[in-house]
Structure 1
Amino acid sequence: MSATLNAEAIDRYRFPAADCSRIPYGMYRDPDIYALEQERIFRGPIWNFLALEDEIPNPGDFRLVEVGDTPVIVDRARDGSLHAMVNRCSHRGSIVQRATHGNAKTHVCCYHQWSFDLTGNLVGVPFQKGVKGVGGLPADFDKSCHALRKLRVESLNGAIFGTFSDDTPPLREYLGPVFTHQVERLFNRKLRILGYQRQRIFGNWKLYTDNLRDPNHGGLLHMFQITFGIARLNATGGAKLDADGKHNLSWAAQGGRAGNAEDPGKDYGDTGRGDMNIKLRDPSLLRYHKEFPDDLTLAVTSLFANAALQQIGNTLAVRQIRTRSADEFEIVSTFFGYEDDDEAMQRHRLRKANLAGPAGLVSMEDGEAVELVHRAIVRDGQDHSVVEFGGRGPVRDQENLISDVPMRGFWMYYCKLMGIPTGETAS
């Protein structure tokens, strides 16, 4: 992307408040902004979640993922080491590995059969010397100069992250103590992978990261969650952020505030959100079996910029955001439990998996909400969303669920990486 186009894209929109309490709609719709994000965010100085070690447990195991819209192979080499490389042949640019997962000795491009080892090095070129001294590559062709582009890789408790940048700080430093703890909390022992869900949403990927950092919507949009008390805005909960505001943990816990305990619907009296006294014929779907040393029953840990770690009761998953364009993205969710789960707990986790995903009883509304916003802001890109729940000014931890502050933290860090100036904080 040319420097001129960079400047033009950035200059099109104005953040009038330094605290990002006003977000210009054009930031979600502009294809030039999207292209710049691929360069400065996903290929920039951040750690992108790639996969789980328990998805590639054996030498030769691999999975295909995406960093932004860049196709990437994640694999385990013969010596057990982890590697990630761009899934694009250094010959003509074709996709090399086409199977979504599997076990391989090498990755071979079907177009001209160039082969790469599990670390991404070029190891085989058919007819490199031609036939009978005719054709082939120049005599000084050096395979070592034509490896697949490699990412730096680090793993924390079996969660694999990758970065394109040599300047990205070590993973623990990038996450900070709160979010290092959240990764260690969730991936505290050997996992059992239960399955996957994929969802394509016709909207901008940042509308979804906004949604993840907006605990305010969870107790208003999601009727199942409100009706059956999984997470109501009058209950105990809040949000934690790292020092930059880029990562966020939205949480709710057992005990503590309960709003109006005698009449749980009273606090929702002016919302028109329905009958709080409906009961499930089989309430076991809502049962939470305590399995962590804390009291969190709902914890969504959003890691800048492409992942969310999900605990909704006993359903556990990692959601990875894969961008397609300014107008489309995909969410790939990896559901898991622990290897030492008994059969009853495994069945319970699988049942509760119905709470999340594209048809989830809790979260099916999220994709629709993103698309509703994306369609409505197709024009008037200089107009702004109002992000002021929780107040204006500095970004800090929140002790309640009625807050937009985590969303502002994301945008402040986003503007820093993108080189987008922000105005003076509104009064």
Structure 2
Amino acid sequence: MPTADPSRAPGSFAGLAGVDRVAGRLYTDPEIYAEEMKRIFYRTWVWVAHESEIPEPGSFKTTQVGDQPVIVTRDRHGTFNTLLNRCRHRGATVCDQRSGKANGFTCPYHNWSYTLDGRLRGIPYPDGYEGVLDKNDFPLRRLRTESYAGMIFATFDAESEPLVDHLGDAKLWMDRFLKQTNGYPAKVLGSHKIRFKGNWKIQLENTTDGYHFPMVHKSWMASVDAETANMMSFMDDPDAQTHALGHGHSVAVMAGEHVDLDIDDGSEAIQPRFQHLVGDLTAAGESPERIRRYMRSMHGCGFNLNIFPNIAMSSSFLRVLIPISVDETEVWHMAIGMDGGPENVNRERLRIHEHFQGPFGFGSPDDAEGWDRVQIGAVADPTMPIMVNRGVNRETTTDEGWPTSHVTDETGMRESYRMWKAMMSDD
């Protein structure tokens, strides 16, 4: 009788992640992927929506928590709900639209119908269920749902720590990110999806990987004006740093002068490419101070914030990762703008977003090519380690207690894998 491989026992996978390297199996092993769904995506807080995507009672969107389909709704009382998209009768999905507005949800198979907060509202031909079924006992399963700064998260774990505790020091950076909306509420201006043939953690690593930027994104750097290229030339900038924030979260600071958009010493010139907007806003009666604020926030904030396990607040957009399988991941890029601000400023932000993140842009296609190649290569000797040791010997600790190194170092990845290891452990 063959001896069982102890490294495949639940809880043993945690040993595959070291301090500064992880086994390539973390990208390729279906058993590890299945365990990640149980121990990470079904246990912790997972980002599901921005409040602007479901703006009024009856609004909804569909998405996933891990690999399970869910509906995020705003009910009649304005409360956000995350509902498992599975009829309690025979298991069919009750909603197949990406987003919209509804009075409730009806299963197309046998027409069991549910309210916006998941209660079972009606059953056709109910006489067959007399004495058999009480409608109060069969609502759609509800996930615990909380929000911070307009960002909605859900978890299957009713005993999980409060969302604000999970976010920890990332809250400071979330607040800074939202300063780019210049006092107006944030809203999602638009989104698009891409898929790549690779594991979800490959994309998770990318958000705070400043090391790849000048190599992978040469074409983007060559396509922009000199001022934008200079702003993103951080390789030799000692103030460009990555901080590990705890709980798996990290932030990569690339343009320090834009970290807090409330701070403006007046030295930064408005880019010539935006002079047409300056003229339009001046004609519309906006003050010079207000116009300067709009222009300084055009590229968003000066950092990428990674919130474990599936959402990044990256410069001027949201990047959401949706695991599909061990070797396939869906990525949503969501442009962020002002709800109530000048629409010509929002349009310009969209054009900037499309230039880098759009399907014909200069950024996402190059990133996705790299992610695909990592997955292909990782199949070759999956016991060989993936290295995340850049900068480990020059890492320091800030007054806030954040492990910190240069933005080209892999401090953020090490933080993600610290959380991964903790959640994949039996302890």
TM-score, normalised by the number of residues in structure 1: 0.81
Specify the alignment match of 2:99 in structure 1: 101
CA contact (8 A) 1:108 1:114 kept: yes
Match of 1:186 among 162, 172, 177: 177
Which structure 2 residues correspond to residues 34-113 of structure 1 after superposition, within 5 A? 34-44=33-43, 46-113=44-111
Q: Alpha-carbon deviations, 1:218-266, whole Å to 9, x = none?
A: 233211455433423123411122234x00111212569xxxxxxxxxx
Match of 1:163 among 155, 160, 168: 155
1:239 matches 2:242: yes
Counterpart secondary structure, 2:366: helix
Q: Structure 1's 89 and 394: CA in aligned 2 closer, same or farther, altered over 3 A?
A: farther
Specify the alignment match of 1:274 in structure 2: none
Q: Structure 1's 170 and 417: CA in aligned 2 closer, same or farther, altered over 3 A?
A: same
1:355, distance to aligned residue in structure 2 (A)? 1.6
Specify the alignment match of 2:203 in structure 1: 208
CA contact (8 A) 2:337 2:349 kept: yes
Q: Structure 1's 66 and 16: CA in aligned 2 closer, same or farther, altered over 3 A?
A: closer
Q: Structure 1's 343 and 79: CA in aligned 2 closer, same or farther, altered over 3 A?
A: closer
Specify the alignment match of 1:303 in structure 2: 307
2:146 maps to a residue whose letter is E
2:253 maps to a residue whose letter is W
The 2-side partners of 1:226 and 1:208 are apart by 21
Q: Alpha-carbon deviations, 1:78-128, whole Å to 9, x = none?
A: 111111111011111111111111111111110110111111111111112
CA contact (8 A) 1:309 1:317 kept: yes
Structure 1 residues 31-40 or 163-172, which shifts more? Answer: 163-172
Specify the alignment match of 2:352 in structure 1: 352
Which structure 2 residues correspond to residues 322-337 of structure 1 after superposition, within 5 A? 322-337=322-337
Match of 2:214 among 214, 219, 223: 219
Structure 1 residues 213-222 or 23-32, which shifts more? Answer: 213-222
Specify the alignment match of 2:411 in structure 1: 405
1:420, distance to aligned residue in structure 2 (A)? 7.1
The 2-side partners of 1:410 and 1:145 are apart by 39
The 2-side partners of 1:326 and 1:12 are apart by 15
The 1-side partners of 2:242 and 2:88 are apart by 44
The 2-side partners of 1:377 and 1:306 are apart by 21
- Using the aligned pairs only, state the percent identity: 29
1:321 maps to a residue whose letter is L
Specify the alignment match of 1:142 in structure 2: 134
Q: Structure 1's 376 and 318: CA in aligned 2 closer, same or farther, altered over 3 A?
A: same
TM-score, normalised by the number of residues in structure 2: 0.81
Specify the alignment match of 1:262 in structure 2: none
Q: Structure 1's 296 and 76: CA in aligned 2 closer, same or farther, altered over 3 A?
A: closer
The 2-side partners of 1:5 and 1:42 are apart by 24
Specify the alignment match of 2:267 in structure 1: none
CA contact (8 A) 2:58 2:116 kept: yes
Counterpart secondary structure, 2:32: helix
Q: Structure 1's 289 and 66: CA in aligned 2 closer, same or farther, altered over 3 A?
A: farther
The 2-side partners of 1:69 and 1:167 are apart by 21
1:185, distance to aligned residue in structure 2 (A)? 2.8
1:25 maps to a residue whose letter is G
1:336, distance to aligned residue in structure 2 (A)? 2.1
CA contact (8 A) 1:198 1:332 kept: yes
The 2-side partners of 1:192 and 1:322 are apart by 21
The 1-side partners of 2:152 and 2:6 are apart by 34
1:406 maps to a residue whose letter is G
CA contact (8 A) 2:86 2:94 kept: yes
The 1-side partners of 2:73 and 2:147 are apart by 13
Specify the alignment match of 1:259 in structure 2: none
The 1-side partners of 2:381 and 2:326 are apart by 16
Unaligned runs of 5+ in 2: 223-228, 259-271, 278-290
Q: Structure 1's 251 and 363: CA in aligned 2 closer, same or farther, altered over 3 A?
A: farther
1:418 maps to a residue whose letter is M
CA contact (8 A) 2:257 2:302 kept: no
CA contact (8 A) 1:205 1:328 kept: yes
Specify the alignment match of 1:277 in structure 2: none
Q: Alpha-carbon deviations, 1:286-321, whole Å to 9, x = none?
A: x9965589x98532111100101121xxxx221211
1:213, distance to aligned residue in structure 2 (A)? 2.8
CA contact (8 A) 1:49 1:306 kept: yes
1:340, distance to aligned residue in structure 2 (A)? 3.3
1:26 matches 2:17: no
Counterpart secondary structure, 1:229: helix
The 1-side partners of 2:103 and 2:119 are apart by 13
Q: Structure 1's 128 and 394: CA in aligned 2 closer, same or farther, altered over 3 A?
A: farther
Q: Structure 1's 184 and 57: CA in aligned 2 closer, same or farther, altered over 3 A?
A: same
CA contact (8 A) 2:211 2:408 kept: yes
The 1-side partners of 2:386 and 2:292 are apart by 39
Counterpart secondary structure, 2:215: coil
Q: Alpha-carbon deviations, 1:350-389, whole Å to 9, x = none?
A: 2101222443323331111110010111131211112211
The 2-side partners of 1:320 and 1:383 are apart by 29
The 2-side partners of 1:109 and 1:140 are apart by 20
1:418 matches 2:424: yes
The 1-side partners of 2:45 and 2:14 are apart by 27
Pick the structure with more helix per residue. Answer: 2
Match of 1:197 among 189, 192, 210: 192
